[in-house]
Each structure stands twice: as structure tokens, then as C-alpha cells.
Chain A
Amino acid sequence: MSGLSVGMFLFLVSVGMSLIFGVTRIVNLAHGSFYMVGAYLMVTLVEVLPDRPWAFWLALLLAPLGVALLGAVIEVGLLRLIYHRDPLMQLILTFGLILVISTLVLLAWGPDNKSVSRPEALAGSVLIFGQPFPSYYLLVLGLAPAVAVGLWLIFYRTRWGMLIRAATVDREMLGALGVNVAALYTQVFAFGSWLAGLGGALAAPTIAVALGMDGDVLTTAFVVVVIGGLGSFAGSFISALLVGLLQSFGILVFPAVSIVLLFALMAVVLVVRPWGLLGRPEQ
């Protein structure tokens, strides 16, 4: 069960990463940093907001929005200037952003680990199949599939979603048809950042919020995205669950090598289907 919840955080982060890649063709290496910023914003918001039952939920709403804003600023201020360049330049740029963001987080929040207490209503645990299970995880288990369904509705039932799907297929044609592709890029990048921020904010009460969580999440999310297929939304969902479960079972069965297990799975997928389970082959 906790494997499923870990899968949910992973899903939120990796679907954002995958979405950004699908539309803008940028592999956002700073996506783990966005997740970290989401968690840290959660820490601060919960501290600053008055000690009321609704404070946690307001923070959960605001923290991802802050990250979305950060993403939008980065897209407009930096990435937009280099879309026409070699994709590796974009990769290196987002790698540079990891360093910048991690130092800024260190300066803003200091080197000590932080924690966020769970909201009172969800502080206890419930019995499922006779096993105690923290009730906060139930929220995670409920919210992430809700987000998944919401995403599906957005992609397949709204005009904006249709534009996003069109952009993943042929951006130039979309532009030629009169769609403002630049604005769409910004929206998608901000939306993907929002998802990472939501993942971070939601994860904050279950982990120690610490420097270095950017790298950990980036690696795992990357494994998820590669296994599921870059740019594939359903692929991210399935593989996030798979990876989350594999990680938790791995920790139970072979604690030392769980991460190796994960990468072994990725290596197998890469050899058999380099473009991922549900992705499209590289052109």
C-alpha cells in the first residue's frame, strides 16, 4: 500500500516531466528541483498561515501555484530564448538551473531538515486488512488518481488539451494553423511545474524535507518516464505505480539493492523497447 502512495508522488512528478517533454521537447532536469521547492514552500506556508484546520489545505493549494509561477518565469525568461538551439543546450541549461535552485533553497531555508505535520483529520491511521495504515496516505491514494482523471479530462475533453496533444504531434503545423504556440509552451511548462510542485507539497508531510531531495526525485522520476515512454501520459501512470511498488518491495526484500533493481528494470526496458512501454520511437 505505501508502495502505491510512493507511486502517486512519482506519478505527479513524472507526468509533469513527460508532459513538458511531449510538447516542448525539453527534458527538464530541474523538475526534481521544482518538486523540492514545492515541499519547501509547503513548510513555510504551513508555518506562516494561522494554526487552523484549513491552513494545511490552503498551503497545499498555494505551494504548487508558487512552483507553477517559478516554472512560467523560467520558461519565459530563459528557455524561450533557446528553443531553436541544439536540444543539448536546453538540457545543459536546466542542469545549470538545478545548481542555481539548490543554492537558493539552501540560502532561503538553511541546511537543516524540515518537516510538515499532517493535518489533524489525517494524523492517525486506519486498519486495512488488519494492518495499520496512515490515513494521510489515503488522501494521497485518492488525490493522485483524481489528478490522473482530471488530466485525462483536460487532454481529451477540452480545447486546450486538444492543442497540447496536437503540439506533441506536430508543433509547426499547429503554429501554421494560427495557434499561439509560444503561449502554449509557457502554459504547459507552468502546468508541468505545478504538477511537480503538487507532488512535493503532498509528499512534504510524509518525508524529511531536505536538500538533496531534488536529485533523488529526479533520478526516480526519470526512470519512471523512461520506462513509461517520454511524452506518454498513460505510460507514466503505469510505470509510476510499477516503480513505486518495486521500490517498496525492494526495500522490504533486499534493502541494499532496491535502487539497483529499479535500474535493472530500466535497462531491460531500454534494451527491449528503447522508447519505453507506451512511448513512440525516436525519429
Chain B
Amino acid sequence: MTSSTRALGVLAVALVVAPLALPPFFLQLLTEIAIVGLFATAFNLLMGSGGMVSFGHAAYFALGAYAAALLVKRAGVPMLLALPAAPLAAAGGALLFGFFIVRLTHTYFAMLSLAFAQIVFTVIFKWKSLTGGDDGLLDVWPPAALKSPAAYYYFTLAIVALSLAALHAVGESPFGYALKSARENPRRARFIGINVRRLQLFAFVISGAFSGLAGGLFAFYNGSVFPDFAYFTKSFEPLVVALLGGPQAFFGPLAGAFGFKILEWLVSRQWPVYWPLFLGSIVVVVIVALPMGFVGLAGGRGWRTRLTGKT
């Protein structure tokens, strides 16, 4: 515990002083890593603690991004007021869809979440008069004070750090433990008086809200929003990131986001077209070639036992 606290402290200091040493490009990369890290950590509240694998989390990311962008573009709301709308809109979507999704388990859960994400994608894509359809919404920039890479980096870092702290607190709260018990043995959880469905819906909404916040942050970072944000390939992102980093540890998805974004940058810089191929292949190879499986899903084995092969 103390060593991980110390490591966290070192990381925090390094991230705060980074703008002094790094060129703007790397600050943008770090900003993206922070956003993806938040997205994946929010996603992992469901997968890691709740044992619920969503295949449609892009929906909430996109709802957040579009809510913030639409307020700025169509209603002229200032960015700092539009950003809080991102998690709210996403939470609303998560409540509506989650109501149906948490009724199902495992494969059905994953498939229904994917289906709802496709609806969100289709609505965004087809509702041209509001969302701009395929062309997206352009010129969604933060105010001048936050426009430089370093300023927006600090802004994102602060919000992501606060959100991660909140998500960590949720995971460690009685609610978080109840969620884990519902993952391990839903029937026994019901016996001791836990309303499993409501608990899971609540977790779904929290996860959706923070995914939406990540979407809102990304909208202003990117300066534009596109229907792709809700596409199923985007839903794949937090899943891969969490699996790469280890869904069992709270900071696993964040670590995964580092690895993922740096890999993406290295590959897309050279061969942008091949990136999905590369990503898909990694997933296929990792799943087929790592028989110990990923932590958590394979039955709650820790990193260490996975590495040494002991159970």
C-alpha cells in the first residue's frame, strides 16, 4: 500500500511538471491518455467490480461529447457550463438503456449494450439538422485561456484526477463491495438483502456518467465531434485498454491507456489504415495465445499468480 502510494505520488509529480519538459505534441498525447484512462476506468467499474462487460460504452462517451458540443454550438452556452452537461446527459442515457441492459447477464448483457450503442450511433448519424450527421460538429473549442496544449492538459489532468478519486471511492465504498458480491454470487447477494438489479443499474449510471465526462473532455480537446464517437469500434477501446492494463487493479485501465495510446501513436503514424487491423489482431492473439486469460474475468486471479502460473 505504501509503495503504491509512493509510486502514485511520483507519477503525480511527473505529470504536473511534464509541460515544462515536453513539447506540445506529447502534452496532447498525455491529454488523450488521461481521457482514455478515465473512459476505461469508468468502463471498468462495470467489468472489474461488477463483472458486467459492456460492448456499447461508446454510446455514453458520445452522449457526453455531443451534449457538451451541442450546448456550445446550438445554444451558445460557455464551455465551462456545457462540460457538466456531458456526464448528466450520459447518465440519463445510461439510466434509460441500463434499465433494460442490467436485466440480462453475460453474453446477453454485452449484446444488448452493443445494440443500444448502435441506436445512439444511428440517431446521431441520421439526425442531420441537430447533430450535423456525418459532418459532425466543428469548432467546439474551449475558451482562449484553456486553448493552449499545456492549459488544456492541466485542466484535463485535474478533472481526470478528481474523477478517478471519485471512482476509487465508489469502488471502496460499501456500494462497491456490494457490487463485487453481486458479481461473485448474485443469488447469495440477493439472500442477504441486496437489490442486485438496482445496484447494477446504479453502477451502470455512474460508469456512464464518467464515460460521458470523458467524452465531453474529448470534444473540447478535439475541437469537434463526429458520429464515430458512438460507433462500435469506439466501444472496443475501453475494453481493450482495460484488458491490456488489467481489469482487476484500479489503476490497470489507466496503465492500459498509456500502453494503448502510445502503441496507437506509433502504428498510426506509420500506417494509419492498418491500425484497426493491428488492434483486432492484438486482441485475437492475446485471447488465443494467453491461456491464463485476463485477470478478473478468468476467475479473479491476481497479476502475480497469473505471471507465475500458480493459483
A binding-site residues for B, Cβ under 8 Å: 27, 29, 78, 81-82, 85-89, 91-93, 95-100, 102-104, 106-107, 215, 219, 222-223, 226, 230, 256, 259-260, 263, 266-267, 270-271, 274, 282
From B104, B110, B239, B282, contact of A274 by CB (8 A):
B104
| A95–B235 alpha-carbon span in the complex (Å) | 10
B173: interface (CB < 8 Å): no
User: Is B293's CB under 8 angstroms from A91's CB?
Assistant: no
User: Is B288's CB under 8 angstroms from A270's CB?
Assistant: no
User: Is A102's CB under 8 angstroms from B100's CB?
Assistant: no
CB distance from A280 to the nearest CB of B (A): 13
CB distance from B24 to the nearest CB of A (A): 30
User: Is A103's CB under 8 angstroms from B277's CB?
Assistant: yes
Query: Which B186-205 residues have a C-beta within 8 angstroms of A?
Result: none
| A102–B275 alpha-carbon span in the complex (Å) | 11
The 8 closest A-B pairs by CB, nearest first: A99-B280, A96-B283, A103-B277, A100-B280, A219-B118, A99-B276, A96-B280, A96-B284
> Quick one: given A263-B119, A270-B112, are A103 and B280 in contact (CB under 8 Å)?
yes
User: Is B103's CB under 8 angstroms from A270's CB?
Assistant: yes
B binding-site residues for A, Cβ under 8 Å: 53, 55, 100, 103-108, 110-112, 114-116, 118-119, 122-123, 126-127, 231-233, 236, 239, 243, 273-274, 276-277, 279-284, 287-288, 293, 297-298
CB-CB under 8 A from B284, the residues of chain A are 78, 93, 96-97, 100
| A103–B231 alpha-carbon span in the complex (Å) | 15
CB-CB under 8 A from B111, the residues of chain A are 27, 91, 222, 226
User: Is B107's CB under 8 angstroms from A219's CB?
Assistant: no
| A81–B293 alpha-carbon span in the complex (Å) | 12
User: Is B114's CB under 8 angstroms from A222's CB?
Assistant: yes
| A89–B110 alpha-carbon span in the complex (Å) | 12
CB distance from A270 to the nearest CB of B (A): 6
| A85–B290 alpha-carbon span in the complex (Å) | 11
From B100, B239, B293, contact of A85 by CB (8 A):
B293
> Quick one: given A103-B274, A260-B119, are A226 and B280 in contact (CB under 8 Å)?
no
User: Is A282's CB under 8 angstroms from B100's CB?
Assistant: no
> Quick one: given A92-B287, A99-B280, are A263 and B297 in contact (CB under 8 Å)?
no
